[in-house]
C-alpha cells in the first residue's frame, strides 16, 4: 500500500503540476473520444496502449470485457453505456479483449470457476462464446489455441450484445456510432483490430496492417 501512497505524492508533485491546465479544463466537463470496454486484468492500461490523456477515454471494465445483453443483468454496464452514448455522444465504442485472459480460461474450463458462484454467474453472459468455441473450433489443438480463439470470438460476441442496448441501436440506425473489436497482446504490445470484410484480426501498426498469426479463421 505504501507504494500507492508514494505514487499519489509523486503524481501531485510531478505530473499534476506539469498538466495543471489540462486538469483545470477537465473540471469543467468531459468530451471523451470513445467508450473503451476492456477486462479488469491489471496488465491492461487503456490510456497507455492508446497514448491518451485523462478525459479522452470513457472506460468500462469488468472480468472478461463482457457486455450483458440489454436487460439481462440490470447492472452498471447498462448505465455506463447509455451515458457514454446518449449523454456524452461518443462516436466510437471499442471492446478490447486480451491475451492470457483468466476469464476466458475459466469460461472454457468451468472447473476453474468451481466454488466461485459470482464468477460462474457472470460468465453466463459469455455462454455464446463458449458454445461457438466448443461446437465450431473442435479442430483447434491445445488449450492455448482454444483460449486465443475464445478471446477473439468473445469480443465479437460482446459487440453483438452491445447492439441490443437501445442507445447503441438507435445511434447505429442514425449511423452516428462505430463499433470496434480489438485484442491486446500483452507479451508483444500489439493491438489487433477485427477487419470485417477480411474476417480476421489485423495488427494496428504504422508499417501497415498485417494479419494476426492465426490458428483459425473467425467464423461468425
Ligand atoms: Zn481478462
Residue 51's pLDDT band, with cuts at 50, 70 and 90, is very high
Residue 148 has pLDDT above 90, yes or no: yes
Query: What is the rounded radius of gyration, in angstroms, for the C-alpha atoms of the chain?
Result: 18
Residue 215 has pLDDT above 80, yes or no: no
Residue 207's pLDDT band, with cuts at 50, 70 and 90, is low
Task: Enter the C-alpha cell of residue 176.
Answer: 452516428
Task: Give the Å distances, CA to CA, from 45 to 53, 142, 154, 189.
Answer: 12, 29, 20, 11
Ligand 1: distance of its center to the CA of 169 in Å? 26
Which residue would you say has higher pLDDT here, 217 or 119? 119
| One-character DSSP codes across 111-153 | GGGTT-HHHHHHHGGGHHHHHHHHHH-TT--SHHHHHHHHHHH
Are 202 and 210 contacting, i.e. CB atoms less than 8 angstroms apart?
A: yes
The pocket of ion ligand 1, defined by CB under 5 A, consists of 39, 41, 101, 103
The pLDDT tens digits for 107-147 are 999 898 889 999 999 999 999 999 999 999 989 888 899 99
Judge whether 125 counts as a catalytic residue: no
Task: Give the Å distances, CA to CA, from 151 to 90, 170, 171.
Answer: 25, 28, 26
Which residue would you say has higher pLDDT here, 82 or 219? 82
The pLDDT tens digits for 55-101 are 999 999 999 999 999 999 888 999 999 999 999 999 999 999 999 99
Strands 200-203 and 92-98: unpaired
Residue 213's pLDDT band, with cuts at 50, 70 and 90, is low
Judge whether 98 counts as a catalytic residue: yes
Determine which one of 20, 43, 131, 214 is catalytic: 43
What is the model's pTM?
0.92
Determine which one of 96, 98, 130, 146 is catalytic: 98
Residue 211's pLDDT band, with cuts at 50, 70 and 90, is low
Whole-number pLDDT of residue 43: 98
Task: Give the Å distances, CA to CA, from 193 to 46, 94, 203.
Answer: 15, 10, 6
What single-letter DSSP state applies at residue 201? E
The whole-angstrom separation of Cα 139 and Cα 168 is 35
Judge whether 120 counts as a catalytic residue: no
Average pLDDT, the chain: 93
Ligand 1: distance of its center to the CA of 131 in Å? 19
The whole-angstrom separation of Cα 216 and Cα 76 is 34
Say what percent of the chain tops pLDDT 70: 94
Whole-number pLDDT of residue 141: 86
Amino acid at each position: 500500500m505504501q507504494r500507492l501512497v508514494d505514487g499519489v505524492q509523486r503524481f501531485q508533485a510531478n505530473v499534476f503540476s506539469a498538466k495543471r491546465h489540462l486538469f483545470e479544463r477537465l473540471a469543467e466537463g468531459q468530451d471523451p473520444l470513445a467508450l473503451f470496454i476492456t477486462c479488469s486484468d491489471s496488465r491492461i492500461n487503456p490510456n497507455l496502449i492508446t497514448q491518451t490523456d485523462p478525459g479522452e477515454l470513457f472506460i468500462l471494465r469488468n472480468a472478461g470485457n463482457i457486455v450483458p445483453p440489454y436487460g439481462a443483468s440490470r447492472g452498471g454496464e447498462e448505465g455506463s453505456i447509455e451515458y457514454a452514448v446518449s449523454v456524452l455522444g461518443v462516436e466510437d465504442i471499442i471492446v478490447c479483449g486480451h491475451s492470457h485472459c483468466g476469464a476466458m480460461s475459466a469460461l472454457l474450463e468451468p472447473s476453474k470457476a468451481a466454488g466461485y458462484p459470482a464468477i460462474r454467474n457472470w460468465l453466463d453472459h459469455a455462454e455464446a462464446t463458449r458454445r461457438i468455441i466448443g461446437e465450431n473450433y473442435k479442430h483447434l489443438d491445445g488449450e492455448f489455441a482454444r483460449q486465443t480463439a475464445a478471446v477473439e470470438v468473445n469480443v465479437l460476441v460482446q459487440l453483438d450484445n452491445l447492439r441490443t442496448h437501445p442507445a447503441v441501436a438507435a445511434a447505429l440506425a442514425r449511423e452516428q456510432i462505430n463499433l470496434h473489436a480489438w485484442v491486446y497482446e500483452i507479451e508483444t504490445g500489439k493491438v489487433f483490430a477485427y477487419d470485417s470484410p477480411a474476417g480476421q484480426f489485423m495488427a494496428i501498426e504504422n508499417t501497415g496492417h498485417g494479419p494476426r498469426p492465426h490458428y483459425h479463421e473467425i467464423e461468425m
